[in-house]
Chain A
Amino acid sequence: MDGLRPIPLHSMSFRLTDHEGYDVDPETLIGHPSMVFFGFTFCPDVCPTTLSDISGWLDALGPEAQALNVVFITIDPERDTVEAMAEYVGYFHPAIRGWTGSVEQISRAAEEFRVRWEKIPTEGGDYTMNHTASVFLFNSAGRFVSAIDYHEPPEFAVPKIRRALQDKKEGTK
Chain B
Amino acid sequence: MRKTPIMAKAAALLAFFAMTPIGANAGTSDIDVENAWSRASIGTARPGVAYMDIRNAGDDPVSLVGLRTDVSGMPEIHRTSTDGSGVSSMAPAGDVMIGPGEVVALEPGGLHAMLMRLQAPLREGDSFALQLLFSDGSEVTVMVPILGIAARGPNG
Q: Which residues of A contact B (CB under 8 A)?
A: 1-2, 4, 41-46, 48-49, 51-53, 55-56, 87-88, 91-92, 116, 120, 122-124, 126, 128, 130-134, 147, 149-151
A49 and B90 CA atoms in complex are apart in Å by 14
Complex partner residue of A124 from B74, B87, B148, CB under 8 angstroms:
B74
Q: Chain B residues with Cβ under 8 A from A43's Cβ?
A: 90
Give the top 6 A-B pairs by smallest Cβ distance, nearest first.
Answer: A130-B89, A133-B88, A44-B49, A49-B108, A134-B86, A91-B149
A2 and B85 CA atoms in complex are apart in Å by 5
From residue A71, how far is it (CB to closest CB) to chain B in Å?
17
Contact size range, B: 20 to 34
Q: Which residue of B lies closest to A2 (CB)?
A: B85
Using an 8 Å CB-CB cutoff, how does the interface string of B65-79 with A read, 1 for contact, 0 for none?
A: 000000000100010
Q: Chain B residues with Cβ under 8 A from A42's Cβ?
A: 45-47
From residue B86, how far is it (CB to closest CB) to chain A in Å?
4
Q: Which residue of A lies closest to B51 (CB)?
A: A45
A132 and B85 CA atoms in complex are apart in Å by 8
A151 and B80 CA atoms in complex are apart in Å by 12
A-B contact pairs, 28 of them (CB 8 A): A1-B86, A4-B85, A42-B47, A44-B39, A44-B46, A44-B47, A44-B49, A45-B80, A45-B90, A45-B114, A46-B109, A49-B108, A49-B109, A51-B150, A52-B152, A87-B42, A88-B42, A91-B148, A116-B85, A116-B87, A120-B89, A126-B116, A130-B87, A130-B89, A132-B85, A132-B86, A132-B88, A150-B82
A133→B87 contact, CB < 8 A: yes
Q: Which residues of B contact A (CB under 8 A)?
A: 39, 42, 45-49, 74, 78, 80, 82, 84-90, 108-109, 112, 114-117, 148-152
A150→B150 contact, CB < 8 A: no
B90→A128 contact, CB < 8 A: yes
What's the A-B contact tally at a CB cutoff of 8 Å? 89
Q: Which residue of A lies closest to B89 (CB)?
A: A130
Q: Chain B residues with Cβ under 8 A from A131's Cβ?
A: 87-88
A116 and B149 CA atoms in complex are apart in Å by 26
Query: Given A2-B85, A88-B42, A149-B86, 11 other A-B contacts at CB below 8 A?
Result: A2-B84, A45-B78, A45-B108, A49-B108, A49-B109, A49-B152, A56-B152, A122-B116, A132-B86, A133-B86, A150-B82
Q: Chain A residues with Cβ under 8 A from B117's Cβ?
A: 124
Q: Chain A residues with Cβ under 8 A from B49's Cβ?
A: 44-45
A4 and B151 CA atoms in complex are apart in Å by 31
From residue A4, how far is it (CB to closest CB) to chain B in Å?
7
A130→B88 contact, CB < 8 A: yes
Q: Chain B residues with Cβ under 8 A from A56's Cβ?
A: 152
Q: Which residue of B lies closest to A92 (CB)?
A: B150
A133 and B88 CA atoms in complex are apart in Å by 6
A55 and B156 CA atoms in complex are apart in Å by 13
Decide yes or no: A52 and B151 within 8 Å by CB, A45-B108, A133-B82 being known contacts: yes
A129 and B141 CA atoms in complex are apart in Å by 31
Decide yes or no: A48 and B149 within 8 Å by CB, A88-B42, A133-B86 being known contacts: yes
